[in-house]
Structure 1
Amino acid sequence: MNAPALFQSLTVSGLEIAAGDVTIVRDVAFTISQGRPVTLLGASGSGKSLVAHAIMGSLPTGLSARGVVKEDDVDLLASSPAQTRARWGRTIAILPQEPRLALDPTMRVAGQVAEVHRYLHDLGPAEAGASMRADLTEVGLGDRTQAYPHELSGGMCQRAAIAITHAAGASLLIADEPTKGLDAALRDGVVERLRREVERGRLLLTITHDIEVAAALGGMVGVMLDGVLVEFGPATEVLESPRHDYARALIAANPAHWPAPDLPPAGAPIVSAAGLSKRFGEKALFDDLDVSVRRGEIVAIIGPSGCGKTTIGNIVLGLVTPDRGEVQRAPGIPPTCFQKLYQDPPAAFAPHQTLRRGLGDLLRLHGLAWAQAEASMERFGLGRELLDRRPSEVSGGELQRFAILRALLLDPVFLFADEATSRLDPVSQSEVFAILVEAVRERGLGLLMVTHEAALAERVASRILRLPS
């Protein structure tokens, strides 16, 4: 296989993105060159991912881009749809923010990686298989090559998507939240993988809210707020001496700096599980495990990706049956008072239904007023204009906030939060956790949370359950 020549630079100038007559991203300008990646930080909904999709030529229906986006001398925005599609996977590849939705649910992971080598790079079956195994081993999935996406954790799906994107070998790699949902070790491995792509001459644009990722990648860092690039410069300057007020707040909002929640003594047990054991195929996740959650208590489960954290929460909710052990719930509590926040919020929303329709159906079903939902939307920083969009037309962070809003409207007594803030920037993350902590304090909500962030668990949890790999 002869590798195609790599582009030397990508230049963005005067980029604007509009929804009809409304401009939602304005006057964005930066240059990515070989050896100098660009990372965009900012709040959920600030326009970071829209900039990436404008470059890719994959903006959602109803949005349009104008300005100049040049890969060397090729004006990407001036290309025809056929020319744009021809670049996908060949000169530009994107690592999507929602990897589970990007994976083919009917194909094993091995086939999805191997087909890139076979049909994009014209390798024979044996060579494609060897390259596939090397790619999946490098992201820690060498023992899960025959798994389907639904058999993988959220973090594993992310790593599978990384392997597929790497296999494409495009000149420009766009990584949209490449480390969300990954534990520290896997996050560092992904960052190292991205750095190697830069060393090989590929252009890299990364969208993230993880400041440690931005610092590790180096190059240039930009901070976006409300569709505007409010700060841009060398990574060390922006991260160590930010000039804009929002940039300073964003960088300072590390979970390790949060105040510990002031919670009253925990009340009666809501749910208790004893002697839980579970395995999938040949892999044993845990054995003889106990866990309980009381009213007004926050219990955190931490551990590496794929160790069984989500499975424990699903067993407690009754969504998964343990191989051994039993679960007991406090009597007299209706099922609707046991709620879950998903790691991948699109899995909890009807994809072709507007958020207004979905929220309205919920309110009518449970006899709730629109005023309650509108008050919660304002508190969560969700504009009313988002209601007429489908789940795929809002950012991952915005959709997660809708999921949290929807769960709390039902006044639950138990909430299983599976990486509930993994898509939020540090400022939004602290604001959302303040709301969850308030629900724990004022309503006596029992919160069972899964997280990869040890610092987050140590700041907010009453108790921590640590799982080995």
Structure 2
Amino acid sequence: MSTLLVAEDVAVFSSHLLVHPASLTLQAGRPFTILGETGSGKSLLAQAIMGTLPRGLRAEGRVTVGDQRLDLASGQGHRALWGRTLGVLPQEPWLALDPTMRARKQVEEGYRLVRGLPAVQSRIRASADLAALGLGNAGDKLPSELSGGMAQRVAFIAARAGGARIVIADEPTKGLDVFRRDEVIALLLKEIEDGGGLLTITHDLELARQMGGDIAVVLEGQIIEQGPAADVLGAPRHDYTKRLIAADPSAWPERNAAPKRSAGVKPVLTAAGLAKTRGGQLLFENRDLTVLPGEIVGITGPSGCGKSTFGDILLDLVTPDAGTVTRAEGVARVRFQKLYQDPPAAFPQKVPIRRALNDLVRLHGLDGSRIAPLLERLRLSPGLLDRLPTQVSGGELQRFALLRVLLLDPVFLFADEPTSRLDLITQQETVELLAEVARERNCAVLIVSHDAELIRKMSDRQIAFGSPPDAAALAA
């Protein structure tokens, strides 16, 4: 087994140490997974190795790729490796993809500009790659027309198109249903069958288990356990690793029954006979729903089956083809809120988080003193408020999105994959907070998740959406 990459004493700094010196070795044909919670520093470690740290951060240490040795403090030498030797699958596919370029063209570029293939052959290869991941009808779609799972798959295909022998995948299964997750895992593993290298950064415990190979567990910028995945996950030594495994939804205790409702309680929202077609395909029809104050309703189903569209119709963000939605009288529209699956798309990219929250407080006459206790409750450092949305992790930004929604004191909250970006421990804490909010404030919650076990453990009742006629052609 040959060595593809060696990282030695890699550290990351801003004004202080963010990632403590860490070393790892990537072998040909053997996956390596960096596992840790949101904000633990796992992505920064990978970005330092890749040479793609955000502005304002610097790295130290050494990385050897083949016969090329890179001094990370110099910041030189990486660019020639990008695409050809080192490929990256980014955490935020909607930000990584060109918003003005259709899916097939984004994949074609890798074949044409990096591999140097003729235009016709590049197009053929790109079309075949898209079809192989169930995206045969998505080639002419813009990123804004794709669901989160579809955008993730397009980004994955584009990352591989340049022929890089080493792929660094940052949260590659985030937001995917179980079937698509397992499909991407199979594709990632296929990358190493012929002696390629794969470094995966994730908070997904099941992904780490299925990948096998070697694993490093990261906490607060330090590797606390490292070794064969089967050993680390099968017999963890560190208390944090044990806690991480115990936070998997399958290990959650069964919830207490929903509190009994007194007769005559009026629903927060009622839908009758909803139907929606998109792209010439039927998403759903004859859908009814009544949601009471404080009730938690869960929705499961594969990518592209219309779960998000259904919730958007309830919020009057999308017009149904048939049916009606009736919301509680006398309640301001602003108290019917949504938690988006991809918070980067919901935050202004060039506005610090503190200003965005203060603007909301000022616009709606809210109580700004509630921000501090919510920060503590969501395990968010006050120092993050002065950063841009692009300067915090995906999980931290999702928790800021929840904080922003809670400031509005919602009576109905449509949570669209609200934990898809969160590690298991933070996911459990966030779900428990959602349940507390539902009970304490009598807020109805409609939550969508690909994780059927999470929905079962959290919800008072469940709704299952089935597979659409052509899931690859539809945005969820």
Please give the TM-score of this superposition, normalised by the length of structure 1.
Answer: 0.96
**Among 319, 343, 346, which residue is 2:344 paired with?**
346
The alpha-carbon distance between structure 1 residues 203 and 272, as it changes in their structure 2 partners (threshold 3 A), is: same
SS in 2 for 1:131: helix
Letter in 1 for 2:184: V
**Whole-Å Cα distance in 2 between the matches of residues 380 and 277 of structure 1?**
37
Mapped contact 1:261–1:437 kept (Cα < 8 A) = no
Q: How many residues align?
A: 463
1:299 aligns with 2:297: yes
Aligned match for 1:215, one of 201, 209, 212: 209
Structure 1 residue 32 and structure 2 residue 30: aligned? no
SS of the aligned residue for 1:372 comes to: helix
Q: What is the deviation of 1:7? A: 8.6
Q: For 1:76-225, what aligned pairs fall within 5 Å after superposition?
A: 76-78=70-72, 83-225=77-219
Residue number in structure 2 paired with 1:3: none
Per-residue CA deviations over 1:380-411 (Å, capped at 9, x if unaligned) read 11111111111111100000010011101111
Q: Which amino acid is 1:36 matched to?
A: R
Contact kept? 2:254, 2:457, Cα under 8 Å: yes
**1:295–1:413 contact (8 Å) kept in structure 2:** yes
How much does 1:86 deviate? Answer: 2.8
Match of 1:14 among 1, 9, 17: 9
Following TM superposition, by how much is the alpha carbon of 1:265 offset from its aligned partner in structure 2, in angstroms? 2.7
For residues 184 and 227 of structure 1, do their structure 2 counterparts lie closer, same or farther at Cα, with a shift above 3 Å needed? same
What are the equivalent positions in structure 2 for 1:393-408 lying under 5 Å apart?
Answer: 393-408=391-406
Match of 2:299, as an amino acid?
Answer: I
Structure 1 residue 260, shift from structure 2 partner = 3.3
Q: Conserved in 2, the CA contact under 8 Å of 1:44 and 1:425?
A: yes
Runs of 4+ in 1 over 4 A off after TM superposition: 78-82
8 A Cα contact 1:11 1:69, kept in partner: yes
CA distance in 1 between partners of 2:428 and 2:314 (Å): 26
Partner AA of 2:228 in structure 1: P
Cα offset for 1:87? Answer: 2.1
1: distance between equivalents of 2:337 and 2:70? 45
Q: Note if 1:226 corresponds to 2:220.
A: yes
CA contact (8 A) 1:253 1:426 kept: yes
Q: 1:227 to 1:327 in 2, by over 3 A?
A: same
Cα deviations by residue, 1:137-192 (Å, 9 ceiling, x for unpaired): 11110122111111111111111111111212212211111111111111110000
- For 1:402 and 1:76, locate their aligned partners in 2 and report how far apart those are by CA, in whole Å: 37
Structure 1 residue 211 displacement after superposition = 1.1
- The reply on whether 1:276 has 2:270 as its aligned counterpart is no
Query: Which 10-residue stretch deviates more, 345-354 or 364-373?
Result: 364-373
Q: Judge conservation of contact 1:177–1:207 (CA < 8 Å) in 2.
A: yes
CA distance in 1, matches of 2:466, 2:108: 31
The answer for the alignment partner of 2:334 in structure 1 is 336
Range with greater deviation from structure 2 (397-406 or 262-271) = 262-271
Distance in 2 between residues matched to 1:442 and 1:193, nearest whole Å: 44
Letter in structure 2 aligned against 1:252 = A
State the Cα deviation string for residues 337-362 of structure 1 (Å, max 9, x = none): 11111100011111001111111212
Secondary structure of 1:359's counterpart equals helix
TM-score w.r.t. length of structure 2: 0.94
**Compared CA separation, residues 83 and 324, structure 1 to 2 (3 A):** same
Q: Tell me the amino acid that sits aligned with residue 456 of structure 1.
A: L
Partner residue of 2:64 out of 62, 70, 73: 70
CA deviation profile, 1:8-38 (whole Å, cap 9, x unmatched): 4211121111112x10110211111102221
With 250-259 and 69-78 compared, the bigger mean Cα shift is at 69-78
**How do 1:442-461 and structure 2 match up within 5 A?**
442-461=440-459
Using the alignment, how far apart are the partners of 1:254 and 1:410 within structure 2?
Answer: 30
Contact 1:175/1:205 (8 A) holds in 2: yes
Query: Could you tell me whether the CA contact under 8 Å between 2:58 and 2:73 is conserved in 1?
Result: no
Query: Partner residue of 2:229?
Result: 235
- 1:315 matched to 2:313? The reply is yes
5+ residue gaps, structure 2: 468-476
Q: State how far apart, in whole Å, the 1-side matches of 2:17 and 2:346 are.
A: 30
Q: Which range moves more in the overlay, 335-344 or 286-295? A: 286-295
- Indicate whether 1:380 and 2:378 are aligned: yes
SS in 2 for 1:168: coil
Give the drift of 1:72: 2.6
Instruction: Output the CA distance in 2 between the equivalents of 1:219 and 1:244.
Output: 19
- DSSP 3-state at the match of 1:70: strand
How far apart are residue 78 of structure 1 and its match? 4.4
Letter in 2 for 1:119: L
Per the TM alignment, residue 79 of structure 1 is displaced from its structure 2 partner at its CA by: 8.4
**% of aligned pairs identical?**
50
> What amino acid does structure 2 have at the position aligned with 1:196?
K
Q: What code does the residue aligned with 2:405 have?
A: A
Unaligned 5+ segments in structure 1 are 1-5
Matched residue SS, 2:46: helix
Structure-2 separation of matches of 1:307 and 1:102: 25
Instruction: Tell me by how many angstroms 1:82 deviates.
Output: 6.7
Closer, same or farther: CA 211–74 of 1 in aligned 2, 3 Å: same
